[in-house]
Amino acid sequence: MIVVTGATGGNGSEIVRLLNERGASVRGMVRDPERARGRLPAAVELVRGDFDAPETLAPAMRGAQTLMLISSADPALPDRELAAVQAAKDADIERIVKFSVIAADHEPTFGFGHWHRPVEEAIRASGLAWTFLRPNVFMQNLFWFTDPIKSDGVFGLPVGDANVSVIDTRDIAACAAAVLSEDRHDGQAYLLTGPEALSFQQQADVLSDVLGRRIHHEDITPEEHKRRLLSFGQSEAYANAELELDAELKAGELGTVSDSVKRLTGRPARSFRDFSEDFAQEFRPEVAS
């Protein structure tokens, strides 16, 4: 039995779906099983568990052998996931696959690595078998900008013309499902990237080509980006982590391309063009009927 946390999230729900498709026994740990029921395959067992109520975690894991640990990008991530690692030990879990982030092992840590690194270290020290998945920036982050793209054909990020090997979350989920279904990944940390490194203007150019209208990346200042994040309700800590990540990205640190998706799933990672074609409708202005 595999327990997947964050099972209603963007990555977790796809991992649950793929594991179910492979015929694995899957249990989704969710805050609200009733709300989650319609969003996940019927064969998937659902159990209530809340990272912020640590006493719910070990009971949610009991009887399973493997934990797929995913939680939100939130300043509470270290506390939440450290509690989950302790609960996994208490519940006699044998193996943890942790959803981490690119460069979580970078010295010194930056951006979201500050949150994931202590959890990776605790898992290494736990005595349990482990695998770390360290994805680069998601292609799906572009959904944050669907409104300005639809209305003005523009999205703003403080990253200049640096290249980044963005990855489609569907490929991350496929890698996770492969790792969770096989027993040859213990002690491995996989950098997961897309098949090429593109600047955000190059991504905009691909999207322009697919949509048939001009989309433009605006190179905004970090201050402007922070102001926008705070106005969308993000916390100061989240905004600071995001700006640190953007600074590394702008310095060209997130352009490495790995072949992990191909090695783990047997097929090449989806390109940004694949993503743009599959989700073109999300970025098209609504036509009044």
| Residue showing the smallest CB distance to ligand NAP in the complex | 9
* Identity of the amino acid at 259: D
Whichever of 188 and 209 has its CB closer to ligand NAP, that residue is 188
Whichever of 18 and 77 has its CB closer to ligand NAP, that residue is 77
User: Among residues 119, 133, 45, 43, which one has the least CA distance to residue 88?
Assistant: 119
Q: Rounded distance, CA 102 to CA 133, Å?
A: 8
Whichever of 141 and 221 has its CB closer to ligand NAP, that residue is 141
**Separation in Å, CA 20 to CA 13, 23, 28, 264:** 11, 5, 11, 18
CB of 8 to ligand NAP, least distance (A): 4
Q: Is 257 helix (H, G, I), strand (E, B) or coil?
A: coil
Query: What's the distance, CA 51 to chain centroid?
Result: 18
User: Among residues 273, 283, 22, which one has the least CA distance to residue 168?
Assistant: 273
Q: Is residue 79 within 8 Å of 237, Cβ to Cβ? A: no
User: Among residues 112, 105, 98, 100, which one has the least CA distance to residue 249?
Assistant: 112
Whichever of 98 and 185 has its CB closer to ligand NAP, that residue is 98
Q: Which two tokens stand for residue 36?
A: 């989650």
What's the CA angle centered on 33, arms 27 and 34, to 5 degrees?
A: 140
CB of 59 to ligand NAP, least distance (A): 14
Whichever of 194 and 222 has its CB closer to ligand NAP, that residue is 194
CB of 68 to ligand NAP, least distance (A): 11
CB of 17 to ligand NAP, least distance (A): 13
CB of 220 to ligand NAP, least distance (A): 18
CB of 89 to ligand NAP, least distance (A): 19
Whichever of 143 and 152 has its CB closer to ligand NAP, that residue is 143
Q: Rule CB under 6 A: which residues touch ligand NAP? A: 6-12, 30-31, 50-52, 70-73, 77, 99, 101, 112, 135, 137-138, 141
